[in-house]
A and B are shown apart, each in its own frame.
Chain A
Amino acid sequence: MKTKLALAFAATLCTATAFADAGKGVNDSIKFRQSGYAFMAWNMGKIKAQLEKPETFNKDQVLAAANVIAAVANSGMGALYAPGTETGKGWEPTRAKPELFKEKEEVGKLAGNFRAAADNLAKAAAGGEQGAVKAAWGEVGKTCKACHDKYREKE
């Protein structure tokens, strides 16, 4: 009788821990992807600030920011959208729409566009020509927006 009770208790504990771990994985995924986007936004802002003051345009700072954006864009963020992460909380409740997890081809396309635009911005930043950087920056913004418009809940 006592053995059965002990076994039942152990089984419940294991199941509870397993669920707790699963919750933690979802929580981390959402946290990391929210962090990634926020970090890129900071760097987009840095480049924009440089573009708004052409006289003091610092090519190296712009390149550093562009490299960050390209690095994050190429870091395989798809892995953070594993099944199970449709709902949950990272730093805040996820605003990813359920469609993001269903329309895989379209999402993949938008993600590819975003990576290409980010790579292009890094290239333009390396070149140092302000006009090219401005155009490339605008294109990255458009790829961010393309996914937001389709797959992110409005505030």
Chain B
Amino acid sequence: MTKVAVWDVPLRLFHWLLAAAVAALLVTAEVGGNYMTWHGRLGLFVLGLLVFRLLWGFVGSSYARFAQFFPTPNRVRAYLKGEWRGLGHNPIGALSVFGLLGVLTLQVATGLVANDDIGFQGPLYPLLDSRWSELFTGIHHLLAELLQFLLALHVAAIVFYLRIKRINLVRPMLTGDKEVDEANSAHSQARQGGGILAAVVVVTIALAVVWVIGSGHVVQWFAPPPPSIAPPPAW
């Protein structure tokens, strides 16, 4: 058995930071009160993480690229027939990756315009009529339930692999390496590409997106102009 490098550092960082952030988001939403401020900050952090992952799926190392593991019907069929070979995400695992990323993206998008009727408003709340905020807040709450279900499924799958299939998927996501019988066979290539330069560029873009949205600049650019520059009445 030899070790083959599969998951790159940025990807692993992304995964564990996302896990921690989502856990904290669920807790802060549950507690409420002043913790909603942290909920908002963490939401923006997840926005940055998702922008990173989206871009890294195109310029990251081999097994991080979406094209490498996208679950096409052929690949899924092959996997179900027991004919799939590979080191990265298998087609079913890939479905869960895209499912979770998709739900999280919708969650961030709806969260940006959501409100809690008490004191919290997403950073893009001023851009829409408040009735849209009501609608998107409702979706945000519904997706939170779906997300918790998907996360439970995700953890259950990892436990299933550990206990039943006797394959540890946690260690590779920590160390980056998977154990294979035959290194560098057709289906056990070590990862390639996705170097420091690509990482720096992608992280910079992610930071820029978060800054633009979180700082209120987007609102300033797109919000309808105020009715007049004169101050409101003082009575």
Contact = CB atoms under 8 A, between A and B. Distances in A.
Nearest to A135: B34
Interface stretch (B48-56, B84-92, B130-138): B130-138
Contacts of A144: 117-118
Interface residues of B, number: 17
A24 interface: no
A139 B33 contact: yes
Contacts of B32: 141-142, 145
A125 B34 CA distance: 16
Contacts of A41: 117-119
Nearest to A38: B117
Given A142-B32, A142-B33, A145-B33, A137 B119 contact: yes
Nearest to B36: A141
Interface string A42-73: 00110110000000000000000000000000
A41 B33 CA distance: 13
Contact of B135 (A47, A148, A155): A155
Contacts of B119: 41, 44-45, 47-48, 137, 141
Contacts of A139: 33
Interface of A: 37, 41, 44-45, 47-48, 134-135, 137-139, 141-142, 144-145, 148, 154-155
